Structure 1
């Protein structure tokens, strides 16, 4: 007989995108709700009393005042930068040369890649993140390590080989043919296997020649169901560099568009300093922009225009951007997104922040039909929050008049202590193990 598991507690999910300043009926909250899990999927949601009555055979796990959410979705990260997170004091280009590239050189060693991949995914699970889209390194073994680690943990992840053929150390460079051939082989090996998706990955225009960008554009045209991820308009000095390298381009986005790297399944990280034409074209094709607020403040990149871009109908996801981002936590990322928006005169509602970290990022990754919501048929990736995880948070949440006042202190002050439980594909994992031993799975 199929095993049924019933999670009970406070439940929260989204049927639609909330407004920036109010839920506007998009959220489904039940203070005594339940989520029924069968065969790795959400079988039913609703009042706990009704689910108990309808399914007396289900094993119940009662979370009381715990808030049951979809697992967090991180739409842009660099797992190879795990060990060098929070490296001091550089602008983007200097930071890449001083910290990122030397660390990524180490991923030529398959054992090192496997160690970091496992460590990284365990850290994500400890922080309630069940899906991530990551850049790997130029080394194919870094992709294999990442997907093998995710497969072992049953996680739905996306990622790809980072392609560069200029303006980086020799040990991190390939060429247009190798970028195409390696990416194609990895795509054929991993795309659609278990819960894994391959993403075509030029790092950004300054580290790829036009020939390499065209080769990857051709690969994308041959595999249009794949996503393509890169960086766009992160810092002003980066944009100036792009203008020097591509003098014929109309703007930064044009360096991708001219080579077949602009499309509906495109993911463009940062997108802070966009010109009007770029904004119009991104909205026209339905591409996704990924907001990386802790990275943008840590490296001093600028302030993402959440309100303006959302008003244009842009598709927006949220991400840690580890290790330019200074935390593995999507709670901390939501906090930073709130603070960045405040500096632009917009107070983002807790519902919008939680939507960004769950359904919004899932939709940005074209996974919204699988993850990011608590609804029948969705994959049972679930995070349970303790809304009183520290004395400071507890004393504030006790004054709450509604769920939004109750959860907002955790968004602003929460960390891995707020993660009470995590479920991946309907299987319960133990996030506390990652904190104590460095790994979740034996």
Structure 2
């Protein structure tokens, strides 16, 4: 008895980067199929060919729905799940009013487990199968997230958020030594277990002392196979704050670079207001920049320069930034990225948006050899999109002349109703 699974439907994958090669980098098959075995993609092709070659496979026919890689969210704060869409002014006000009081609750293992499970279920409801998440300073928050993800079979990255400067409130500060010790212990406990990976996680320079940044830089040097995530140049007043705290730094990026926190495997969230030197150094070390468009508009941060950064060869991922971002949906995130592109006079093609939300984010995480595409050998994390999920979307899709006109209304107007199915390691959710 075979355990092979054969999914039928339209299929979409990427043979190259559409920012470089245009829409032709995508591979669309209107009568496609995906063969899955033991949680991995074994083959893709036409439905007729794969059915003939695999007559014993269990077949699930998704009709004219679109099968593609599950969405990959490269920057989230799962502890902010319950405060998403909270009214606020600017970043610092928002952190003090909502984020920090909520994060204080995550020393309670039961509460951390509740929110971790809720967040991951919401992500899966929206077709997101992998993400990189900040936790809180509490080790319990990290254990809760990894436990919930392991139970769901998901590939995720996360880490203890470290803050020791008095710019963070009482109850949310550790120390340089505790940040190192906790992070090392959690790394050794979880990194490489099943589909879990650890990210060394200084929140950002304004909430860490130089001693803490140095300790985390040292830890990263000891464990170079881990990722490192932090924030960079999100708002103009934040940059001024950083310069006041680090008067000898050449720029914001230098507050990381000086302590060993700039290298391949670094994920720098937002990266909107970058100086020339910062752009040059980020590209030179091949670090990843993470675009968080709904967050950037919601908190009024600014307009990410997708066109300029991609043209210069930067490694870029896409993210919801839950809960500064105003949606759990990568569809809504793609729509916001398109709108920001328009304001920057750089409209993004649907192929580019879908690539950013899958292969691009996986590449930012240095996991494109495992997730983010519909390709033989990769893990079978998939989403199935209904391209006619609402009357408004259906009436526009009916007039489509190609796959891009068919999928673009779902990018711009779709929500969790467009998620017909989600597969994690080849297993249908629910």
TM-score, normalization by structure 1: 0.96
Q: Which residue of the partner structure matches residue 118 of structure 2? A: 119
Distance, in Å, in 1 between the alignment partners of 2:119 and 2:214 is: 32
2:258 and 2:275 map into 1 onto residues whose CA distance is 17
Distance 2:336 2:21 in 1: 16
Q: 2:413 corresponds to which residue?
A: 413
What is the match of residue 213 of structure 2?
213
Which runs of 4 or more aligned residues in structure 1 lie more than 4 Å from their structure 2 counterparts after TM superposition?
none
Residue 196 of structure 1 corresponds to 196
Query: Distance in 1 between the 2:281 and 2:196 partners?
Result: 29
Tell me how far apart the structure 1 counterparts of residues 348 and 110 of structure 2 sit (CA, whole Å). Answer: 43
SS in 2 for 1:171: coil
Q: Equivalent residues in 2 for 1:42-441 (5 A)?
A: 42-166=41-165, 167-430=167-430
The answer to whether the 8 A contact 1:232-1:252 is kept is yes
Larger displacement relative to structure 2 (271-280 or 1-10)? 1-10
Counterpart residue number, 1:433: none
Q: CA deviation at 1:20?
A: 7.3
CA contact (8 A) 2:2 2:56 kept: no
**Inter-partner Cα distance in structure 2 for 1:194 and 1:409:** 37
CA distance in 2, matches of 1:304, 1:414: 23
Q: Which runs of 5+ in 1 are unaligned?
A: 431-442
Question: Offset of 1:22 from its aligned partner?
Answer: 3.4
Q: Distance in 2 between matches of 1:2 and 1:426?
A: 14
Root-mean-square deviation (Å): 0.8
Alpha-carbon distance between aligned partners in 1 of 2:207 and 2:292, rounded to the nearest angstrom: 20
Q: Distance in 1 between matches of 2:421 and 2:146?
A: 23
CA distance in 1, matches of 2:94, 2:290: 20
1:16 CA drift (Å): 1.1
* Residue 89 (structure 1) shift: 2.3
Contact 1:233 1:252 in 2 (8 A): yes
Q: For residues 121 and 19 of structure 1, what CA distance do their matches in structure 2 show?
A: 30
Task: Describe the superposition over 1:212-235 as per-residue Cα deviations: whole angstroms up to 9, x where unpaired.
Answer: 000000000000010000000000
Separation in 1, partners of 2:315, 2:158 = 19
